[in-house]
Homo-oligomer: A and B are copies of this chain.
Amino acid sequence: MGGTHKPNILVFSPIQTEVDAYADRIRNSGFISVKTAKTLEEAEKYLPGTEVILGWNFPTQLLCKPIASSVRWFQSMGAGVNDLIADQSIPQNITLTRIMDQFGAYISEYVFLFLLDIVKDGPRMKQSQLERRWDPFISETLKGKTIGIAGLGSIGAELVRKARAFDMYVHGLSFSGKQATLVDLHFTPDQWGEFVKDLDYLVLTLPLTNSTYHIINQDLLLAMKPNAYLINVGRGALIDEGDLLSVMREGHLQGAVLDVFETEPLPKEHAFWSMPNVFVTSHLSGPSTINEVSNFFIENLKRFSSEQPLSGMVDRNRGY
């Protein structure tokens, strides 16, 4: 890497141990000009001269101020960047990147845990053990069931691959259609009703954009089979949660697995927590682990230093 430019880097996260861990890994990779901040005040202090930010919950209102004029690139620690895109205080000349291709394993393992728990009736197995009851019941199989994957990016593609290994029928819906050949049947965004009507499981891996906000509403939910399952590992606001609640209370849908919500953390009093056929988890299906985010960022730093195109470039117009 002789002759490349090594930029001044600021790592921001409200969690002290995290910023330290990131800074260590970045320095160990040969980029030694790394500052860390976990509060707005610390960020203000270190922004002058900073060219690159690796951030989570960054006080973005600082980015349109003169102290941030040297910032050229903001790397988010997450995959979803709808907040950053909507944020008017981030100047357009700052390049935004998001983490990509790191979440396929995590999210697909999460999804298949729940698919298998549902189809094999894991809860009944555990209840039988609690009661010391010999209970050799026969469950169904994923084999032969139909899964629909909305969003065929790196996460969707990984779900397709695993669904194949389970001998499922795989339907997909995507905006670009670039990955249409991955699936048995491909649908476009004007075909949502057709897409959902034959599915045993609908998995949402879409980004949140103007075109996907509340895309799952009462009409679409009622178009699904009454015994289908809805699984959301994308963003909470893909679903109109009020519609989902009322439809499920009327007995439509066999269940839902929700890892993301319109309001996070999900409020303590929310009905989802206690519905027997709703599995609630805490936005943990695709965690930004320090190792994986560091590796992604360091690879991107090398590209930045040698003026190659960055991975995970965000297109503000496209919305992700």
Contact = CB atoms under 8 A, between A and B. Distances in A.
Contacts of A126: 279
A289 interface: yes
A211 interface: no
Of the candidates A110, A125, A128, A141, the one having the most CB atoms from chain B within 10 angstroms of its own CB is A125
A136 B282 contact: yes
Contacts of A143: 105, 109
A211 to B, nearest CB: 28
Contacts of A162: 165-166
Contacts of A136: 282-284, 287
Interface stretch (A74-82, A193-201, A217-225, A265-273): A265-273
A277 interface: no
B266 A109 contact: no
A165 B139 CA distance: 23
A164 interface: yes
A113 interface: yes
A57 interface: no
A265 B122 contact: no
A58 B132 CA distance: 28
A265 B105 contact: no
Nearest to A135: B282
B287 A138 contact: yes
A284 B109 contact: no
A132 B166 contact: no
A192 interface: no
A-B CB proximity, top 4 nearest: A134-B265, A165-B165, A113-B116, A105-B143
Given A109-B116, A109-B141, 8 more contacts: A105-B167, A109-B119, A112-B112, A113-B122, A133-B282, A136-B283, A161-B165, A165-B165
27 contacts: A105-B141, A106-B141, A109-B119, A109-B120, A109-B143, A109-B166, A113-B113, A113-B116, A113-B117, A113-B120, A113-B122, A125-B281, A125-B282, A125-B284, A129-B273, A134-B265, A134-B282, A135-B284, A136-B284, A137-B282, A137-B284, A138-B287, A138-B289, A139-B284, A161-B165, A162-B166, A165-B165
